[in-house]
Structure 1
Amino acid sequence: MEATMNQPKDSQQKKFRVIPIMVALLISGFIGMFSETALNVALSDLMQLLNITPSTVQWLTTGYLLTLGILVPISGLLLQWFTTRQLFVTALSFSIVGTLIAALAPSFEVLLLARVVQAIGTGIMLPLMFNTILIIFPAEKRGAAMGIIGLVIMVAPAIGPTIAGLLIENLSWHWIFWLSLPFLVISLVSGILYMQNVSKITKPKIDILSILLSSLGFGGIVFGFSSAGEGEGGWTSTKVIVSLIIGIVALLSFGIRQLKMKQPMINIRAFKYPMFSVGVLMVFICMMIILSSMLVLPMFLIKGFGMSAFSAGLLMLPGGIINGIMSPIMGRLFDKYGPKWLVFPGFLVVAVALWFFSEITVTSASALVIVLHTCLMIGISMIMMPAQTNGLNQLPRHFYPDGTAIMNTLQQVAGAIGTALAVSIMTAGQMKYVKSTPNANMVDALTAGVQNAFIFGMIVAIIGFVIALFIKRVNVKDVH
């Protein structure tokens, strides 16, 4: 598994211990994704135990996304200022401290602080993981490598709700974090022993105004969309409107400033590579679909079907596991045939699954939910990794930190936008049903809202299918 980038001056790359590096990255990535999704199942229990409202408990997710939205854009700069080992140890240290605080948290405020500390670790780790893979694997083998990452990253959210449901029913929500802690420590020890410095340190000039504009821009947009999804006044609330305006203005100013700088914080000239731009758009759409579906479906299973958190997690387990298994397979198919014949049918499968989901009711069979969710997850596996790898493959090596920072940042923004729009559409559908139906049943109202949210997902998938028409395989020899 020797990795060379066809660049003679980088002959030291032959000495990369690929397997130990991958193991250290995969364990930390898995636990990061596990703790992120596992807590979602515990939110309704936390509302009762900590005596807090839905809009307050939402901050455990919003605060996490907000921290990622602010930190991930700066990651491109961090990757050029600090060594791989330094960043890995720092990321794991934040994750361990955050997880320990969460495991001991006696109140909501302490748990929220823990989530922010955890998010700092994840915000450093995600771009570091992708950047390291781009360097240690040659482009023709990256599909398989990204596929393995995909397996780990997608299996974690799949088993997260099931394990969390089991822990909540038998122990307490604190055990979600106690369970994660030893794995994070193992990953840190593994990284200290085996992690190598793979990236070049160039130490570009730090522009404070760029960092400020980036934080205001991405932070404002994530906060605005997340707040709209909380339901307090929705899209018309002053908080949402002001946040989005500040975010958009700051983001435009940030973009203009980057184009004028000799050494930009994030080099947005990466977007001049067409397949990178197409890849970013498709990953953005995928994240909107995944996170909106992961929010709406469990909510409907618990409130509509009357299932426990554990049962709902169990119902979604097969789809998540199959998605994880499919990811390395799709990676190998991508290396062999390119992205087009994966991405096209992928969006088609996703759109059809969401169309069937839009007809779901409380009388629908559990087996149908499992089949549809599995089809949705297979479709996602056909799109996500090929689009991501093909896009990053077109970038020259000096654009890797920028490309990974852009892609990971926009994934967080997509998550916030997708969930906020899905919740808003679901809430609007419920209210419309209640107004138009005398003596409306709340479960029927919820069903109407959920169906509307899935129609929204289907429309987004169709937009993705249209964008997929423009995807072409990157000829690696032309780039490197």
Structure 2
Amino acid sequence: MKLTKEYITLIIFLIATTFLSTSQTVVTTGLTGIMADFQISSTTAQWIYSSFLLVLGVMIPTSAFIARRFKIRKIIVYSLILFLIGSIISYVAPSIYVLILGRVIQAVGAGILLPITQIVILRIIPKEKWQVFMGLFGFIIGIAPALAPTIGGFIIDNAGWRPIFLIFSIITFILIIISAIGVKLEFETSDYSLDIASLILCTIGCVGIMFGFSNIAGHGFSLIYVILPIVIGAVALIVFGRRQFNIKAPLLDLRIFKNKYFFFGTMFSAILYFTMCGLNVLMPLFVQSISYYSATESGIVLLPATIIMIVFNFLGAMLAHKFGVRKILIISCLFTIAGYLVMMTYDINSSINYMMFTQILRAIGAGLGLMPIVTWTISVVSGNIEDATAINTTVRQLIGAIGSALSVVILALFAGGTLAHNRVSVSAFGETSLTMAFLAVIMLIIVILFIYDNVEPEEFN
């Protein structure tokens, strides 16, 4: 397919909408103000962000059906309308429950836009340029969650939290007008039917597992809040998986897992995402709860690494395009292993500068690996872009949620249940870091055994 001006315009517009969707970390900076306004606890307030992530995870599996069934312009316009409605509701919310409702509606729109953008890029761009464009996509969408807390903090300090949602509303309204007038490119669609039973099972499965694991930090291994949701979610996903092989129009074509390259590529990206999400919880805990630095200093520790990872999201894809994905992923694993092993040298007196600079090692590894492996994994089943994108993204989302929760559990278990400013907690952090390094070794083994530069794509039609 020739890359025309019309295609490039559509890609730029879609990335702009995705940039808006991924800037949701800005909301976390307003939690303190929201807690004060609504007189609620931090446990309740965190659902403003957690509910968004849960619904996002539920919507992503539907993207394969939506991409096949509806015109691109309709998908974009209606998704943005949902995001606009959610933003307006959040802006005027008189209570925490209305605010959470607004966030849920926002997430429905964002959950459609994120994978659809990736699907469109892979449909439009010639396969030999996938790594380059996906690297650019990863670079741009990585900027939003990195900068949003800083920008949001400035706005909230000067005007409060509600203007955040007013800004979302204005930008979204402008994007709706542009999309309604300017998006003209369309792909072929079909009367692909939606299997309601599969959708319900997938929703129960994703929500159950993410809800259960997300509650571990606050409720331990509670039967009602943790174990029961995880069991229900796991059973629902097993039934969902079996159903996909036995119906004519599956919500997700899971047959592509029969391709061993897709299977192990998805496994690699899931493990990498597990460690990345886990790290985002572990480092603030170490900096604040063990080393007794402030929350601001905790943010400073991770900021340079976050910027480096965003840059290497793009560089990794460019290097994979030039030198082959296998070599780049091996280097990614080595940097990741080294990064976690260095974290074992942290102690109570480790300086902010030392932690800040050593985090860059791990960030280079994560940045080099994520976009190249995602792009390569989808390329090995390039005839099933919609299903491959939805499956790969959903698995990463689920495993990432599990990683965030289990990392805290592992750290607490090694520490004997309580984190404190002592040697036991430091030792526990080192052992948890070693666990992450071991997972990176597993990633390296996967690359050596199953990731190759020239794999013939396979279709399952």
* TM over 0.5, shorter chain: yes
1:460 equivalent to 2:439? Answer yes
The one-letter amino acid of 2:258's match is K
1:227 equivalent to 2:206? Answer no
- In structure 2, distance between residues paired with 1:42 and 1:454: 31
1:27 equivalent to 2:16? Answer yes
1:208 equivalent to 2:196? Answer yes
Shift in alpha-carbon separation, 1:380–1:142, aligned structure 2, 3 A: same
Show CA shifts across 1:44-94 (max 9, x none).
554455433343233223312221232211221111111111111122222
- The residue correspondences of 1:361-400 to structure 2 (distance < 5 A) are 361-397=347-383, 399-400=384-385
% identical aligned pairs: 28
- The residue correspondences of 1:334-345 to structure 2 (distance < 5 A) are 334-345=320-331
1:123 aligned residue? 111
Give unpaired runs (5+ residues) of structure 1. Answer: 5-12, 435-440
1:64 aligned residue? 52
Give unpaired runs (5+ residues) of structure 2. Answer: none
Show CA shifts across 1:338-383 (max 9, x none).
2111111112211221222243344222222221232222111111
- In structure 2, distance between residues paired with 1:137 and 1:390: 14
**3-state SS in 1 of match to 2:276:** helix
Contact preservation (8 Å) 1:126, 1:408: no
The one-letter amino acid of 1:91's match is S
**3-state SS in 1 of match to 2:221:** helix
Q: Which range is displaced more, 142-151 or 58-67?
A: 58-67
1:419 equivalent to 2:385? Answer no
1:142 aligned residue? 130
**3-state SS in 1 of match to 2:350:** coil
Show CA shifts across 1:96-137 (max 9, x none).
222233333343222211221121111101110111011000
| Deviation, structure 1 residue 175 | 4.0
Contact preservation (8 Å) 1:162, 1:314: no
- In structure 2, distance between residues paired with 1:477 and 1:407: 16
| Deviation, structure 1 residue 225 | 1.2
1:405 aligned residue? 390
Contact preservation (8 Å) 1:27, 1:184: no
Q: Which range is displaced more, 148-157 or 359-368?
A: 359-368
The one-letter amino acid of 1:413's match is L
Report the number of matched residues: 459
Q: Which range is displaced more, 347-356 or 126-135?
A: 347-356
- In structure 1, distance between residues paired with 2:434 and 2:157: 33
- In structure 2, distance between residues paired with 1:115 and 1:452: 37
RMSD of Structure 2 on Structure 1 (CA): 2.7
2:121 aligned residue? 133
- In structure 1, distance between residues paired with 2:265 and 2:224: 34
**3-state SS in 1 of match to 2:245:** helix
- In structure 2, distance between residues paired with 1:169 and 1:304: 28
Q: Which range is displaced more, 104-113 or 218-227?
A: 104-113
Shift in alpha-carbon separation, 1:374–1:73, aligned structure 2, 3 A: same
1:89 equivalent to 2:77? Answer yes
Contact preservation (8 Å) 1:27, 1:183: no
- In structure 1, distance between residues paired with 2:40 and 2:430: 28
The one-letter amino acid of 2:129's match is K
Q: Which range is displaced more, 196-205 or 81-90?
A: 196-205
2:310 aligned residue? 324
1:351 equivalent to 2:331? Answer no
1:165 equivalent to 2:153? Answer yes
2:28 aligned residue? 40
